[in-house]
Structure 1
Amino acid sequence: MNPLIFFLSLEIAFYMKKVLITGSNGLLGQHLIPLFLQDGQYEVIATGRGANRFPHKGNYIYEEANLRNASSVNQLVDKHKPDVIIHSGAMSQVDECEKNKDACWDTNVGATRYLVHAAESCNAFFIFLSTDFVFDGLQGPYTEDALVNPINYYGTSKAAAERLVMNSKLQWAIVRTVLVYGVVHDPKRSNMISWVKNNLQEGKKIKVVDDQWRTPTLCQDLAKGCLLIADKKTTGVFNISGEETLTPYDMAVQIAAFFNLDTSLVEKISSKTLAQPAARPARTGLVISKAANELGYKPHTFAEGLEIIAAEMKS
């Protein structure tokens, strides 16, 4: 073989793809970074608001960026020219979105518009993280082709951002997910597992709604689903969630039992008793058969997820 051809073939074989992960200070972002690094095929560029809050400073680049500013987004993408963009950054506190609609729209729709435009300049494969809250909750669980009909502003903003991605010139995938749980390295943030555990250990009663049904998603499973899509560059809408349909009350009771805590301290209530600014869909959940068949996606059970989270909390 011609030596030049041989070395060119080696270069192609060991080509490292660049992945840009937005929202890298968040729960999903902090699980995407190590997963893509472990995969061995990717150079990872992580971006978020403010300083890097992920304590594991491995072999990746962190760039502070304001995704609500077109110039900032263009500079970031033009500098790194990623092959894959995973847009997990969002304003996701549902009640905050309802109270601060301009900030919600700028963060969830405006930033997506800027990223899509910048991605078109380098022809990046675009993965957008969305939510079951694009649905009204009247006919869940939902398949990928179900019609969206959000009942709160957070869902409205994510549905609008989905349309931007779908109407772009890019190769794209939209990942819808549900009630993601896990451990984030940020002392200002709690998670449902630690909230239930800590309160019950202190002998406090907790009130948890029992009239909303979801398919809760372990963060590690969601990250794995994103990696499967990135590796295969599989396009379209994908439901990536757990399989079990549970209420938050069901989850809280399982958490209490797992940590050998008093389940009688968990009180079920109706969501109608809560004065929440944003409406919540009653029954969502996602059907994941498409992801299972096309990606080989298989999530953990909630019980298995608790074991994983407990080990992560110890470390």
Structure 2
Amino acid sequence: MVEKQKKPVTHFTINIPMLLFLALCMSQHPLLSHCQLDYNFYYKTCPLLEGIVRNGVWSAIMNDTRIAASILRLHFHDCIVNGCDASVLLDDTVDMTGEKNAGPNRNSLRGFEVIDNIKADVEKNCPSTVSCVDILTLAARDAVVLSGGSYWYVQLGRRDGTTANDQAANQQIPSPFEPLDNITAKFTSKGLDIKDVVLLSGAHTIGFAQCFTFKRRLFDFKGSGKPDPNLNSNLLQNLQSTCPSSDSTNSNKLAPLDPVTISKFDNVYYKNLLNNSGLLESDQALLIDPKTASMVDYYSKYPYMYTSDFGASMVKLSNVGILTGQNGQIRKKCRSVN
């Protein structure tokens, strides 16, 4: 008599973290609101969206190459203050002081008109459908790509906030004068990490800075009566010519953050740091900490890895503190709530 073969027992491992993640997503847990984002969020409701945004950014860059860095900075200054909700785009009202005139933004943040124009084009095609924050997130990606950086996919479905906070902007936006530890703490408070500090600082491969953000490095660094000893001597001479100490009216004059490839998104920023040619104190400070210094060296050698990892950090940034579902609103105009 032949004994029946027993059915084999299938063993499997339960992935507790993954099950927890899925459960939180299904429950719409506020800490994981980005679970509700989707690459095809506007596929049916606004299929031309990405093309409209890309064309708007391209047109703006053709008119002013500086605008690519300005849009990227606009996105960062939005997300780092209480999350990505397009609050930075709101004008002041009788009842609310917005973020545009906070210390880090006043007379320096640019690109509002570009987002306004794109939003107007989007509204013509898809009325009351696409949030200003999603437009800004896409525009930041396209600004990088059109400047020579790598493409990354953007999930969509964020909703706009209904208020802004100038006090939070003053407190939460990193300053070029702050120690690296302070800057890192501001990043980690948003769920980012020290690697993101290094990668997102690399956005300074394009754009300009005003004299007042680095002038103290040129003549009287930290009250020493001398220039910053960590500043390349050739760069020092050029900057002293651009921002002379005798001229107290030139604080808004501009110098390129990366004088080698001014408008190209690449890894030369990190090569500049290794040559002591970082324009801002917060840039050059990345060589002080061994952890960040090793990453600077790595990205200076491997440009593809930098642009690839930069995209990953931008995805993390664009998911900070977002509103989805029934939270927030879809603003008809980016400068004001409905």
Larger RCO (CA under 8 A, 6+ residues apart):
2
Query: TM above 0.5, one fold?
Result: no
Larger gyration radius, structure 1 or structure 2: 2
TM-score of the aligned structures, taking structure 1 as reference length: 0.25
Structure with greater helix share of residues: 2
Please report the TM-score for the alignment, with normalisation by the length of structure 2.
Answer: 0.24
